Structure 1
Amino acid sequence: MAQPPPIRPTDYAPLPLTHENDPGRLYNAPPSPEPNASQFHIPTADQDGMPYTDDMGIPLGAAQPRFLGRALYDDGGAGMRNSIASSHNAYPSTDQASAYTADSVYNLNPGDPGRGGYSDAAYHDEPGFFNADQPMRRNNEKRAVYASPKSRRKKILIGLAVLILLVIVIVAVLYFAVFKKKSSDSSSAKSGSTSNASSSSSNSSSTPQGKVAIVTGSDGSTITAEDGTTFTYTNSFGGNWYWDVNDPFNNGARAQSFTPALNETFNYGVDKIRGVNIGGWLVTEPFIVPGLYQSVQASATNSITVIDEYTLLQAGGQAALEDHYKTFITEQDFMQIAAAGLNFVRIPIGYWAIEVLDGEGFLANTSWTYFLKAIQWARKYGLRINLDLHALPGSQNGWNHSGRLGSYNVLFGPMGIANAQRSLDYIRILAEFISQPEYKDVIPMFGVTNEPQGTAITQDILSRYYLQAYNNVRLASGIGQGNGPFVSFHDGFLGPDKWSGFLPNADRASIDMHPYLCFSGQSTDPITARTSQPCDSWGGLFNNTMANFGFIVAGEFSNAVTDCGLYVNGVNLGTRYEGTYTLDGNHPDLGNCTTDWLNYQSWDAPTKAAYKTFAMSSMDALQNWFFWTWKIGNSTAGKIEAPQWSYQLGLQEGWMPTDPRQAVGQCGNNSPFKGPLSAWQTGGAGAGAIPTDVVNGLSWPPPSIVFANGVTSPANVLPTFAPSGSPLTLPGPTITPASGQPSATASVNVGNGWANPQDQAGMMKPVAGCSYLDPWIGSSSSPPSPLCTNAAAARAQAAAEPGITEAPRRR
């Protein structure tokens, strides 16, 4: 079939990467492998425990990349862009693009410069006072004709009286029709009103004084974005948006008519999670945003090879990374996600959103400000968030999407306990923030650790860590059943069946599994021959887990059936399909990835239909799921080179279902889990009553830690921290109420970052007189000897009980 026209060559700025006519966007990354499948592997080591490396010094098998797709082209001109994006727009808009996206290749929602702000005319109240055809004016005219002659002075006095009366009536009507109505509307929204009709509010900061700000609307309404630009709300599923700058924590938005609004109860086990990951945004991955990595590599002034976020920054990519945060995901993405029939987003963040210690090399705190924007956008469009702690200090899996490619050092190796202690602190800090009443309805799920290498760590040690993470989340949410988020535990690649019976009666605990087919055995079978494979592989497994453990969610899956795609396995690591990936053995050359799998512009109708069927088979088998990922960015070649990983691109090109409910019944499953879950699984009767023997059997810290060479080391000879520091608190957003409001609304309470003031345990810090290794030292290194220089220091380090410290401080 005919090949698509070639992309014209273009000169790209060091970071702003833009095609002359098709400003691009950025990228996303591929999912991780499933541990039990043959595709899963842990970075291999020699007999001495040192990982094998390739010519670049990268540990063999250390990373499973993710794929990048193309962002959408802007309709706007040929100005240089700041990143690389796709050439398509799933949701065309004629509205003015936002300031963030106007100069970025990430811009998926170009606008029409001709459209301005609100198309409002002067405010009109009850027409009887202003219309010549209304009774009041006619009656006044009639009296003027037939009244008895009066003196001129009396006529003037009567006229003044009528005028005063008219003013009084107008003021009364304005009060009850506008100001009183606004107050009523606000109260109604708080109590559960989800009306799709637009309503009035006080002036917003982007609305000229004297005009009325629109705070809600349905399909076709005009939205004012955070930066003051406008676009059209497109949602054919009966959803409504809601945003009032003077009432910023109002949860009246609804993603779709068939999804509970944020101020209504989401019935887990009955209501389905149909979600998408926003991967590659706040934790970057080369395969998701290849253009970002390629452009920083091209402009690097040192000899560093850019393979992960750590090396991206070492190569001078700080400005590029900050620009990526601004432009890769914008408010319109959240609107489009709701318009796609999806009701949840899973947002990965790294520990560096909270703090970075000296020498760790990550960009501290900056990504948190963009996560705050994500909360606001999710609230505005009725989407719920699964917060995913994706990267831990020392790395929990050694893959590039943990921040640094190489060894993993959480619960493993000489710094295994110390890194886990820090990670538990960060879990606690995040839990305290999201458990605040201002945020809890928008962030009802918390994935405490993404993809730990459970097969090497061992399930016993991982279980002890998970119980501590659960306790931290529950303490943050305060006393009482049903408070705080669902606590999501990744299965550690052990398989969900291994977790049957884990933490019985835990208050809202769920298992997270990431089922992928692309990292297992490669095949030349076309997608048309593989459409039922998800049903065969996953349907029964997920049904059984819902019955035997409780709630299970597929936190990641994709449409990829091979590992083809730029950087899907890591930067310059090749593919199994083409026989060039050698980190887990030799693979036969089965063909050419580009012509066989990646040239989506040439896919015919049967191929697209097969991908859609494959996607719906996955959705039906998994039941509650998050696709990985929402979008893939362009490479510097100006194209998406991993199309099967982009939900957005699939919608644009016709291989993803426009209504995910169409997937129900695709597998022909005669007995899918229909709920409800047991009461204790959803925070009801019995929730939180974990048996004492279970708790006692999972004490923390673990008595020993495994190293890469298979040696088990006692915990008391390893570096550990003591609870001697004051906990950090995360700041809320900066919200400025509209101008012209009463002084009582001059500021908005965004929370103090700490939901439970009774949670006063200290934050883990080094003990004076004791030795510590680099968090990324490697899991085969020996612990420091001597561990501490005096007995008092050793006792302080070994103390497991937290102390009471001063109240948390703001970061």
Structure 2
Amino acid sequence: MDNGDKFVYSNSFGGYWYHDPENPFSGGAGRANSWTPPVNESWPWGKQNINGCVVPLTRWLVLEPFISPALFEKYQGGDFPVVDEWTLSQAMTLDKSAGGGLSQIEDHYKTFITEKDFAEIAGAGLTWVRLPVPFWAINKLPEEPFLEGVAWTYFLKAIGWARKYGLRINLDLHTIPGSQNGWNHSGKLGTMNWLQGVMGVANAQRAMDYIRFYAEFISQPDVTNIVPMFGVVNEPRNLLDIHNIKRFYYQLYTTLRGITGIGKGPVISFHTAFSDNAFGNWLPQADRIMVDKHPYIIFSRPPSNNAPETYVDEPCSSWGNWANATSRDFGMNSAGEFSAAINDCGLWVNSVGGDINYENSFGAGSCDEWNNWDTWTDARKAGLKTFASASMDSLQNWFFWTWRIGESSAAGKVVTPFWSYKLGLENGWMPKDPREASGTCESLGYPQQQPFDGNYESWQTSGQGGTLTPTTTEDYSWPPPTLVDQGDAAALPVYTPTGELPKLAMPTGASGSGWFNAQDTRPAYVPIEGCNYPDPWNANGVAIPASGCSAA
């Protein structure tokens, strides 16, 4: 590996690694297993499910307390609550002691996920990784406390490792300026300031730019087969207006396909904004779009102390019916996140200091028995494996959340076991071969209702033959004329397209400039000189700036 450590690569599924250090992006490429093509060939959309193959590498480049607890435990009890990457970055910056400083985040990048993890993912029979990235991997505003630009180096490493072991990447833009949901994994816990609040349009402009920058990069010839899917906004919340979210999505679609052309570049994956029924027949004839659902038992029903295997009814019925109906009515779809969690036990699953519903709101019992995985019986592990397998079977195309959980520095071990694929694989509650999950629901008495036959239209998988009609898109003007909480959007502050475009570094040995389409020259959105903008991360209910800041 980069640091000189060595490991033995073990793959019992017919996979192999390939790497030419002199020409790492030419010639052959790795193959994860015998039933999927090597990564320098196209993915057979519709013919090969992404089932049991996708493990998101969170929280490597985007930090979340319950997945990387040791980073946050160090700063609990300080001068202010450390609950997200924003406050963690502030606390680290203020920490002038030995071992302090913002460089601790890069130390985490170096060790939390390494080349060995990519080899183990392929060796587990998995063929995709979902890779969450932050916008500040490219750049940020001066007042944003995040570690700027460094995550990009490790994103490039991930591309090289994925090519070596035959893994494909679903690139997931996990953070949006101003926050798309107000949750800690968006960068800052608090209020949502995207398409909402006084800075709702300006933040949407910035977000559009970061999506454009990533799209330009991953559409390059040496990268496109390794990153054939782009999740453009992680978990936007439909607090006010699903139609404005669709406006944003349609604008993204036209921007990205304007960059790549039809049939080229990544499949564009849109999260449902927790409105699963809002995309049933959305944008018919669009070139290679996918809808992304994040189903979690723990957020859909009250917790109980029932055995894990008793929870299979929801995935086998509700989730399975959604996957089949969406394939028929819309097209490609995936579960961008799901886990083996049957309750919300574990350290900080509901954020730092958050209420644990299992123990408190519903009084189902103590979480100790669920957190202490090293004392679980074989029967409990088997029940959890049944639940995980039923979820995989019903969802068909899935991304397990997450590959690994970091150890708690206080407990000296993982204390959030439901969410670690790696831990479950090593200890018997995840299937050794993801293909084992196929047919689980039927074996439990839940046959599929109207199963999808696997045949998509050509425009859904290759872009050929599809043409969007004006009646489909006439109501998606951009920017939005109104925001539900603000009224006339023309009065709101905006940014101006006069900034420099970023220079995006390439992986070692790859050809390209970092920018796919040389005709895409519009400058980047930046603040208007002289405008006194409100805090873009906390602009709900504040006064609109005086003249000179709006589009008008």
- Compute the TM-score of the two structures, normalised by the length of structure 2: 0.94
CA distance in 2, matches of 1:282, 1:415: 26
Distance in 1, matches of 2:85 and 2:527, equals 26
Instruction: Give the 3-state SS of the residue equivalent to 1:555 in structure 2.
Output: strand
C-alpha distance in 1 between matches for 2:72 and 2:340:
24
Q: CA deviation at 1:769?
A: 4.2
What is the rounded CA distance, in whole Å, between the counterparts of 1:350 and 1:690 in structure 2?
Answer: 31
Deviation at 1:601, TM superposition (A): 1.1
Q: In the alignment, which residue of structure 1 is the partner of 2:518?
A: 757
Contact 1:270 1:674 in 2 (8 A): no
- How far does the alpha carbon of each residue in 1:233-264 deviate from its partner, in whole angstroms, 9 at most, with x for none? 10000001011111111352100011111122
Partner of 1:611: 384
Q: Tell me the equivalent position of 1:773.
A: 534
Would you say 1:372 and 2:156 are equivalent positions? yes
Residue 333 of structure 2: which of 536, 539, 552 is its match? Answer: 552
Match of 2:196 among 408, 412, 420: 412
Q: 2:371 aligns with which of 598, 613, 620?
A: 598
Aligned-partner Cα distance in 1 for 2:303–2:12: 39
1:526 CA displacement: 1.8
Describe the SS at the equivalent of 1:767. coil
Identity level (%): 49
Q: Residue type of the partner of 1:467?
A: Y
1:92-107 matches, within 5 Å, as: none
Indicate whether 1:344 and 2:128 are aligned: yes
Q: Which residue of 1 aligns with 2:246?
A: 463
> What one-letter code is carried by the residue in structure 2 that aligns with 1:765?
V
**Are 1:287 and 2:66 counterparts?**
yes
* In 1: Cα distance, 2:455 partner to 2:316 partner: 22
SS at match of 2:174: strand
Alignment partners' CA distance in 2, 1:655 and 1:787 = 60
| Residue 207 of structure 1: aligned partner | none
Instruction: Map 1:449-528 onto structure 2 (within 5 A).
Output: 449-454=233-238, 456-477=239-260, 479=261, 481-495=262-276, 497-519=277-299, 520-528=301-309
Residue equivalent to 2:95 = none
Matching residue within 222, 236, 249 for 2:25: 249
**Contact 1:413 1:706 survives alignment (8 Å):** no
Whichever residue aligns with residue 715 of structure 1, its letter is A
**Per the alignment, in what secondary structure is the counterpart of residue 728 of structure 1?**
coil
Amino acid at match of 1:787: S
Aligned to 1:439: 223
Displacement of 1:459: 1.2
Larger gyration radius, structure 1 or structure 2: 1
**From 468, 471, 475, the counterpart of 1:697:** 475
Find the counterpart in structure 2 of residue 307 from structure 1. Answer: 83
Q: Distance in 1 between matches of 2:303 and 2:542?
A: 35
Q: Distance in 2 between matches of 1:440 and 1:270?
A: 19
CA 1:749–1:533: 2 relative to 1, 3 Å: closer
SS at match of 2:531: coil
Q: Distance in 2 between matches of 1:241 and 1:297?
A: 42
How far off its partner does 1:502 sit? 1.3
1:787 correspondence with 2:529: no
Instruction: Give the secondary-structure state (helix, strand or coil) at the position aligned to 1:607.
Output: helix
| Per-residue deviation, 1:533 | 3.4
Aligned equivalent of 1:682: 461
Q: Secondary structure at the match of 2:338?
A: coil
CA contact (8 A) 1:724 1:765 kept: yes
Q: Is the 8 A contact 1:528 1:606 kept in 2?
A: no
**What's the counterpart of residue 398 of structure 1?**
182
Contact 2:500 2:523 in 1 (8 A): yes
* 8 Å CA contact 2:534, 2:542 repeated in 1: no
8 Å contact from structure 1 (residues 268, 676) kept in 2: no
Q: Aligned partners of 1:418 and 1:528: how far apart in 2?
A: 47
CA distance change for structure 1 residues 229 and 573 in 2, over 3 Å: closer, same or farther? Answer: closer
Distance (Å, rounded) in 2 between the aligned partners of 1:457 and 1:349: 26
Instruction: Pick from 131, 134, 138 the counterpart of residue 354 of structure 1.
Output: 138
- Asked whether the equivalents of residues 732 and 751 of structure 1 are also in contact (C-alpha less than 8 Å), the reply is yes
**Aligned AA (2:154):** Y
Is 1:234 matched with 2:14?
no
- State the 1:770 CA deviation: 3.5
How many angstroms apart in 2 are the aligned matches of 1:267 and 1:400? Answer: 35
CA contact (8 A) 1:732 1:753 kept: yes
1:632 aligns with 2:405: yes
Any idea what SS the aligned residue of 1:780 has? Answer: coil
In 2, Cα distance between the equivalents of 1:588 and 1:787? 52
CA offsets 1:442-463 (integer angstroms, 9 cap, x no match)? 0000000000012x14111001
**For residue 511 of structure 2, what is the amino acid of its counterpart?**
V
3-state SS in 2 of match to 1:426: helix
Instruction: Indicate conservation of the 8 Å contact 1:427/1:472, yes or no.
Output: no
The one-character-per-residue Cα deviations of 1:414-466 (angstroms, maximum 9, x if unpaired) are 10000000000000000000000010000000000000012x14111001100
Structure 1, residues 199-230: CA drift from partner, whole Å, max 9, x if none? xxxxxxxxxxxxxxxxxxxxxxxxxx334443
Aligned with 1:764: secondary structure? strand
**Structure 1 gap segments, 5+ residues each:** 1-224, 580-586, 736-747, 799-811
Give the aligned partner of residue 96 of structure 2: none
2:47 to 256, 266, 270: 270
Aligned position for 1:564: 345
Deviations 1:562-619 (A, max 9, x none): 111100001011301111xxxxxxx232210112x22211111111111111111000
User: Is residue 673 of structure 1 aligned with residue 452 of structure 2?
Assistant: yes
| Aligned equivalents of 1:229, 1:561: Cα separation in 2 | 37
Correspondence for 2:97: none
Query: In structure 1, what is the Cα distance between the partners aligned to 2:13 and 2:510?
Result: 33
Structure 1 residues 343-365: Cα deviation after superposition (integer angstroms, max 9, x where no partner): 10001111111111111111100
Q: 2 CA distance for matches of 1:410 and 1:731?
A: 28
Q: Is the 8 A contact 2:24 2:510 kept in 1?
A: no
**Partners of 1:686 and 1:779 in 2: CA distance:** 44
Aligned alpha-carbon RMSD (Å): 1.5
Give the CA deviation at 1:705.
Answer: 1.0
The residue identity in structure 2 corresponding to 1:468 is Q
Which residue does 1:574 correspond to in 2? 355
1:304-325: per-residue Cα shift (whole Å, max 9, x none)?
2211111111111512211100
Question: Take 2:226 and 2:22, find their aligned partners in 1: how far apart are those partners?
Answer: 18
Q: Which runs of 5+ in 2 are unaligned?
A: 93-100
How far is 1:766 from its partner? 2.2
- SS of 2:7's partner is strand
Aligned to 2:37: 260
Report the 3-state secondary structure (helix = DSSP H, G, I; strand = E; otherwise coil) of the residue aligned with 2:298.
coil
Query: How far apart are the structure 2 equivalents of 1:468 and 1:681?
Result: 19
